[in-house]
Structure 1
Amino acid sequence: MRFFFIFICSIVLATLCIVFFQSAISHVYGNTAELEEKYSFLYFVIFLIFISFFFFLLSKNMITRLEQINQNVKEISKGNLDVQIQTMKNDEIGQLATNINKMTNSLKKSIEKEKLAQKMKNEMISNISHDLRTPVTSLIGYVDLIERNFDVNKENCQQYVRVVKRKSRELKNQVDDLLEYCHINYREIQLHKEIVGVKQLVEQVMIDFIPQLEAVQMKFHIECNQDLQIEADISLLVRLMQNVISNSISYGKSGKIIDIQIFQENRNVKINIKNYGKKILQEDIPYIFEKFYRGEKSRSAHTGGKGMGLAIAKSIANIHKGDITVYSDDKETIFTLILPQYSTKP
């Protein structure tokens, strides 16, 4: 559009120059019509020269800017994505430069995201290989013991079989957790959302934990003064809460009670799951939701798990556009689940 405007201006200026030229020679030659007829081709050539001159003069700045953009695009094509084109004016060329910059930034982010995904995949494979090697090695060792003692000491073999069963169950649970974590984080998981009352959901989850609570002589208390609703995938949300409650039972049983508070804050529903066991060290809190991380290094495999439960909980909260945080001191440890509140109001 701008080049078309410059072209029209060039024609107008060239025409004015021809008119000025005619008026100048009319003082010398009285009959300019005769000159026009005789030298019409020369007039036309001069007219084209004037148009070209004015077009070059008016478009010189734009052509220079286009050449700069062309040079920058060549650099980008070579893989230099740090190039940023200067946008001096907000015209068509400026918008072109802005769009190229946006495209470059988007491409750069995509490449960085791809590199991060590749790094995460390699890290995941490394972690899985390392984490599965120990139980598999242990299973092989006990199977060898059973083979060597099968005809010698059946009592020992029965004990080894019990250990193998326990290790096998642990290995299966571990593989299930890894598969679930990968499914949530590395695939486009399809959410099947339903509207559900928060208090009713929490009560149902806690009822399922009554046998475990009674086994360690723990109780629970739910505090909720509002009828709050959320829209969520119930099966995933139940999994999230099960992981947090299991953690609270395992490491908060010395406190003998789990307090659950449900309340509204800034269009969100917050669920505080509070236990009164041993506090989480401050240096461990930033990493508590990372996969394979266990703050308490002395935890055994059958009590501490493999650090996947809270990582899965965090992922489930995130795909529901929510979050989960933790606070811990000498008195209490609080896991806070934050989820968008469902409302019929626009």
Structure 2
Amino acid sequence: MKKIDITGVKTKLTLRLLAQFFSTVVLFTIGLALLFFIGIYVGHRVIVWYYPWGFWYRLFKFADSFRLYLFLLVWGIVFLLITLYFWNKTIGYVDKMTKAIDDLFENDTDLIQLPNGLKDVEERLNQIKYNIMRNQQLAKEAEQRKNDLVVYLAHDLKTPLTSIIGYLTLLRDEGQISQELREKYLSISLEKSERLEALINEFFEITRFNLKDLTLEPAKFNLTRMLEQITYEFQPLLKPKGLNCSLKAEKDIFLRGDVKKLERVFDNLIRNAISYSYQNTEILITAISRDQEVILKFCNQGDTIPEHKLNHIFEQFYRLDAARTTENGGSGLGLAIAKEIIELHGGRITASSENEMIAFEIFIPNPS
């Protein structure tokens, strides 16, 4: 958001009003002097020559004798009036600016309007008002997505819980159940319990989520080794869909950053790739170091993401498909947190999708 430089605006406005004030006083002084000069000239040419007697002659001679005092008196009175005018104008500017600042937080969409002398302030205030309204709308949408997600999670909690209760009830009530069936039911119950734990963790993630709490603990580390380890650890999760994860990284890329938080970013991107990949396809991860910058790319084959969804993909609690269960979709926090972490490192993250390919690209500064 573009901030208003109050000191700069005050200085600029003060200089402008002073310039107007002094130019008005100078022009008035010149005009009054010319008027007095013309009056004296006309008086000498007309009254003294053509009416050298009577009331007008005596009045002119009296005024001519005190012309300097008369000039100063008129000048002083008009100077006072000019000063009062500009004083009231300044007070009016202050009142209008105060009201305009109060209007910033009004819910109406009307633009702020200020006098011509405050057009630069008007423009900045309208920009701030637009940003406030936009941020309020984004916060409202994020809160709605969060509430919707809680509903999805609550619904999804019932499914594994019902299964666990059902299978455990069978194990308790069926005394003649075979060992093979008993092991099968226990295995299913364990699987559903693990799923239940994951959903509960999602709830904790939502309740404690706050991007403002993110701080970095930077250290120099071998990025190539980290990526090798992460891709190896994901092998068990790739098998159910027949996926293959390939890493093409330059040897020994050293990067200064927060190891744990960057691990979280890469972990989230790989999990997303697994969730949204076609079966029996490849997830490709590349990492290169170019011009004091590390560039990473995570690519997978999946349904093309529409442009209007790509524009929101890094927003808090946004899920590509609201109809999907949390088992596939997640809480919608991962990419928002990933974006914040990368930006805290001074970098940026982008998403693109076309021809059934999904790609996330990360750029992180890496000075020598």
Q: Report whether the alignment pairs 1:119 with 2:141.
A: yes
8 A contact 1:258–1:273 mirrored in 2: yes
How far off is 1:11 after superposition?
2.7
Matches within 5 A, 1:93-112: 93=117, 96-112=118-134
Change (3 A) 1:36 1:134: same
What is the CA deviation profile of residues 211-262 of structure 1, one whole-angstrom value per residue up to 9, with x for unaligned ones? 556788876543334664444322121112122333445646624x554322
Gaps spanning 5+ residues in structure 1: where? none
Equivalent residue for 1:152?
A: 173
CA distance in 2, matches of 1:3, 1:40: 24
Q: Report whether the alignment pairs 1:6 with 2:24.
A: yes
SS at match of 1:187: helix
Equivalent residue for 1:83?
A: 111
8 A contact 2:164–2:193 mirrored in 1: no
How far off is 1:323 after superposition?
0.9
How far off is 1:106 after superposition?
0.7
8 A contact 2:284–2:298 mirrored in 1: yes
CA distance in 2, matches of 1:296, 1:74: 43
Change (3 A) 1:35 1:231: same
Equivalent residue for 2:36?
A: 18
- Code of the residue aligned with 2:199 in structure 1: it is Q
Q: Report whether the alignment pairs 1:198 with 2:223.
A: yes
Change (3 A) 1:23 1:227: farther
CA distance in 2, matches of 1:116, 1:99: 25
CA distance in 2, matches of 1:147, 1:203: 41
8 A contact 1:294–1:306 mirrored in 2: no
Q: Report whether the alignment pairs 1:171 with 2:171.
A: no
Q: Which of the residues 237, 259, 262 maps onto 2:287?
A: 262
Q: Report whether the alignment pairs 1:141 with 2:177.
A: no
CA distance in 1, matches of 2:245, 2:192: 31
8 A contact 1:280–1:328 mirrored in 2: no
8 A contact 1:271–1:338 mirrored in 2: yes
Task: State the aligned residue count.
Answer: 325
Q: Report whether the alignment pairs 1:325 with 2:351.
A: yes
8 A contact 2:285–2:296 mirrored in 1: yes
Q: Percent identity?
A: 16
Gaps spanning 5+ residues in structure 2: where? 1-17, 49-56
Change (3 A) 1:292 1:131: farther
How far off is 1:102 after superposition?
0.6
Taking structure 1 as the reference length, the TM-score comes to: 0.68
CA distance in 2, matches of 1:343, 1:245: 27
Larger mean CA deviation between 215-224 and 16-25 belongs to: 215-224
How far off is 1:335 after superposition?
3.0
SS at match of 2:298: strand
CA distance in 2, matches of 1:227, 1:143: 47
8 A contact 2:302–2:358 mirrored in 1: no
How large is the Cα RMSD of the aligned pairs?
Answer: 4.8
- Code of the residue aligned with 1:339 in structure 2: it is F
8 A contact 2:299–2:359 mirrored in 1: yes
Change (3 A) 1:39 1:217: closer
Taking structure 2 as the reference length, the TM-score comes to: 0.65
- Code of the residue aligned with 2:280 in structure 1: it is S
